[in-house]
Structure 1
Amino acid sequence: MTKSSRSSRIDGEVTRARILETAGRLFAQTGFAETTSKAIAAEAEVDLASINYHFNSRIGLYQTVLAEAHRHIIDLDDLLLIAERDECAEEKLRAFFTLLVDAAQSGRGWHTGVLARELLAPSSNLQVLFTKELQPKLTVILGILSEITAIPISNPALLRCLVSTAAPCLMLLVAGNGLPGPVQLVLQMPKEQLIAHLFSFALAGLQAISKECVAQPSQDNQHSKN
């Protein structure tokens, strides 16, 4: 690679990063529908063609912003490192809550704002986010929950456990974007106290559902076989 081509590639990467950062901030402030490509280009000091060149379209840019926001809050590699730790599944669950409480309490710039807007007013782009970012991460978390409960991943009961475990975390992330009310007060609790509460509450529920599945294995097991 020549010096000129290497310089052009670096310039392109810098421009792409600037567009992404600018778009993320604007989407977090005014939402997808109210943020135009023209506004993004003006703020990032690029021409409209640069947005199409790097992201194909405004929709492509928004989907990239959503994916970047989710990776910034919880990265798949971080989850895999937790799952591969040589420790009990319960401690892996505690580490998962630590990641999310860190993200919620730190605010994480525009990243939580973009996700909060999308969660509160879902668009068709949420399905793309689920397929590209959420699904592989949920698979890792399901594995941890399966370790704790001894419920097979194919059993629908484990999906219910996933929703019950993740829902409070989603509320905290939304609250991190300035949502008023009692969740905001919870978010202001000391970090270790909040992690301990989420962990204890989730673990008690998981253990209760695990006992139910052992005592009454018929219905969910039949669904998982069909």
Structure 2
Amino acid sequence: MSKVRAIRSDGEATRNRILEAAGELFATSGYAETTSKAIAERAEVDLASINYHFASRNGLYQAVLAEAHTQLVSLADLKALADSELSASDKLMKLFEHLVQRSQGERSWSIRVLARELPAPTSHLKVLLQTEVLPKIRVIRQILADITGIPIDDPALTRCLISVAAPCGMLLVGKRGVPGPLNDVLHMPGQVVARHLHVFALAGLEAIRCDYADRGIKTKPRVTRRK
């Protein structure tokens, strides 16, 4: 049994080494310019190892995108936040704090890969959406639904999601060092930026909730802090 575990451990270590090497190269040069040979050389493995663990360069790139998104925010962490005793408003604040911290921290390959992919998406983005993004969006939609009282599948909540998420996306994919307001924000204290996003988002969500009420559209009771 110990021999089997050792083989599995070695295989997992090799897979992780390939994933890290590919992530760094994709982040630096992009998918189109990164060859399997270059990845194998950086990871110190043969080409057969890439095919064994990821089936192809396409499979490897999809795995890199999935890992990058997990490093940005994992589904497990989001679910833990959603299931916590915090109010829905505080949950949103925690999410903003996390994303702002990731945007202002050291630009790891995971952030740089996503920054390359999202503005100019490849066909692989569809796989990422299905496997990583959509399950996380469902959790965030629930938080927004709890704040607004708008049903989770209502198109209005989709618009709310875009309005709340777009500023975070800009912070994450924006290039540093380029003069302009985005660069200025990236150099502001993270807590200040997170609080601004939170206050701004809550004001917008409240306005949408009131608009629903003014038009006679029924909403569910808003979720408050659990006892």
- Whether the 8 Å contact between 2:15 and 2:53 is mirrored in structure 1 is yes
Aligned to 2:225: none
Aligned to 1:112: 111
Could you report, residue by residue, the CA deviation over 1:31-51 in whole angstroms, capped at 9, with x for unpaired residues?
001101011011111100000
Q: Distance in 1 between matches of 2:28 and 2:59?
A: 19
Aligned to 1:210: 209
More helix by share: 1
How many residues matched?
Answer: 216
* Partner SS state of residue 118, structure 2: helix
Q: Distance in 1 between matches of 2:206 and 2:191?
A: 22
**CA deviation after TM superposition for structure 1 residue 154, in Å:** 1.9
Q: Within the alignment, does 1:140 sit opposite 2:134 as a pair?
A: no
Q: Distance in 1 between matches of 2:117 and 2:141?
A: 23
Residues 24-173 of structure 1: pairs in structure 2 closer than 5 A: 24-173=23-172
Distance 1:131 1:217, change over 3 A: farther
**CA deviation after TM superposition for structure 1 residue 186, in Å:** 0.3
Q: Distance in 2 between matches of 1:13 and 1:113?
A: 24
Letter paired with 2:103: A
**CA deviation after TM superposition for structure 1 residue 179, in Å:** 6.5
- Whether the 8 Å contact between 2:176 and 2:186 is mirrored in structure 1 is no
**CA deviation after TM superposition for structure 1 residue 107, in Å:** 3.2
Distance 1:108 1:82, change over 3 A: farther
Letter paired with 1:30: S
Could you report, residue by residue, the CA deviation over 1:16-72 in whole angstroms, capped at 9, with x for unpaired residues?
110000000000000001101011011111100000000000010000000000000
- Whether the 8 Å contact between 2:91 and 2:143 is mirrored in structure 1 is yes
Letter paired with 2:55: N
- Whether the 8 Å contact between 1:89 and 1:147 is mirrored in structure 2 is yes
- Whether the 8 Å contact between 1:70 and 1:111 is mirrored in structure 2 is yes
Which sections of structure 1, spanning at least 5 residues, go unmatched? 219-226
Higher relative CO (CA 8 A, sep ≥ 6), structure 1 or 2? Answer: 2
Please identify runs of 4+ aligned residues in structure 1 that moved more than 3 A.
Answer: none
Residues 169-180 of structure 1: pairs in structure 2 closer than 5 A: 169-175=168-174, 177-178=175-176, 180=178
Q: Distance in 2 between matches of 1:208 and 1:179?
A: 35
Q: Percent of aligned positions with the same letter in both sequences?
A: 55
Aligned to 1:221: none
* Partner SS state of residue 20, structure 1: helix
Q: Distance in 1 between matches of 2:130 and 2:98?
A: 21
- Whether the 8 Å contact between 1:80 and 1:140 is mirrored in structure 2 is yes
Which sections of structure 2, spanning at least 5 residues, go unmatched? 218-227
Q: Which moved more, 1:145-154 or 1:209-218?
A: 209-218
Q: Distance in 1 between matches of 2:8 and 2:24?
A: 25
**CA deviation after TM superposition for structure 1 residue 213, in Å:** 1.2
Q: Within the alignment, does 1:6 sit opposite 2:5 as a pair?
A: yes
Q: Distance in 2 between matches of 1:183 and 1:52?
A: 40
